[in-house]
Amino acid sequence: MNPQTWWYISRASGIVAWVVLAATCLWGILLITRMLKPADRPAWLLDLHRWLGGLAVVTTLVHMLALVADSFVYFGWKELLVPNASEWKTGAVTWGVIAFYLLVVIQGTSLFMKKLPKRLWRSVHMTSYLLFAIATVHGIQAGTDRGNVLFLIIASGVAGVVLFAALARWLQARHKRLTTANA
């Protein structure tokens, strides 16, 4: 086996985890805004959103396991689970640790959505936008692919689409509040 295999797996799985997180956010926005109303099937949209959220957890865990298995830069469980514990790009890794904990909390509360007060669940779930932003910062600061022009173009496009969808969701919610208040 190539000595860099685990490093490549950690890089690739980190990118895939970020893209899946972006897809999860986008699908959640499509679900709440009903932007696909003519072809809208809320049940399958919700199932896909849940599946994507679970896949984000799995790909993130693969990313973390590959970092532990890699010998290029030392990562033990302490470095991956304790903020500021990593000596390698401490700030960047800390963003990743925080993103991981946010992901676990969001997914955990989603599993118990029907047992939690709706307001609590919604408040926690809204941190998904923060999670995407933090994961993006982590990828920019820690990612070794940030010098690749093609990667930067694609990543900027993905981030732009998520930002546009989040803005559309915010504007729709604002419009609904204003319409309700004026009625």
What residue has token string 């915010």? 170
What is the per-residue pLDDT for 177?
79
At residue 41, does pLDDT exceed 80? no
**180 — pLDDT class (breaks 50, 70, 90):** confident
**C-beta separation of 27 from 92 below 8 A:** no
What is the per-residue pLDDT for 40?
65
Q: Which two three-digit tokens encode residue 62?
A: 């693969």
**178 — pLDDT class (breaks 50, 70, 90):** confident
Query: Distance between CA 153 and CA 137 in Å, rounded?
Result: 16
Query: Distance between CA 39 and CA 130 in Å, rounded?
Result: 29
What's the average model confidence in pLDDT over 110-137? 94
What is the per-residue pLDDT for 20?
97
What does the pLDDT look like over 137-146, one tens digit per residue?
A: 999 999 888 8
Which residues 6+ apart lie within 8 Å of 6 measured at CB? 66, 67, 69, 70, 71, 72
- Between residues 64 and 37, the one the model is more confident about: 64
- Between residues 176 and 133, the one the model is more confident about: 133
3-state secondary structure the chain: CCCCHHHHHHHHHHHHHHHHHHHHHHHHHHHHHCCCHHHCCHHHHHHHHHHHHHHHHHHHHHHHHHHHHCCCCCCCHHHHHCCCCCCCCHHHHHHHHHHHHHHHHHHHHHHCHHHCCHHHHHHHHCCHHHHHHHHHHHHHHHCCCCCCHHHHHHHHHHHHHHHHHHHHHHHHHHHHHHHHHHC
What is the per-residue pLDDT for 45?
77
At residue 37, does pLDDT exceed 80? no
What does the pLDDT look like over 80-114, one tens digit per residue?
A: 999 999 999 999 999 999 999 999 999 999 999 99
* 31-45, 51-65, 134-148, 165-179: least confidently modelled range: 31-45
- Between residues 179 and 161, the one the model is more confident about: 161
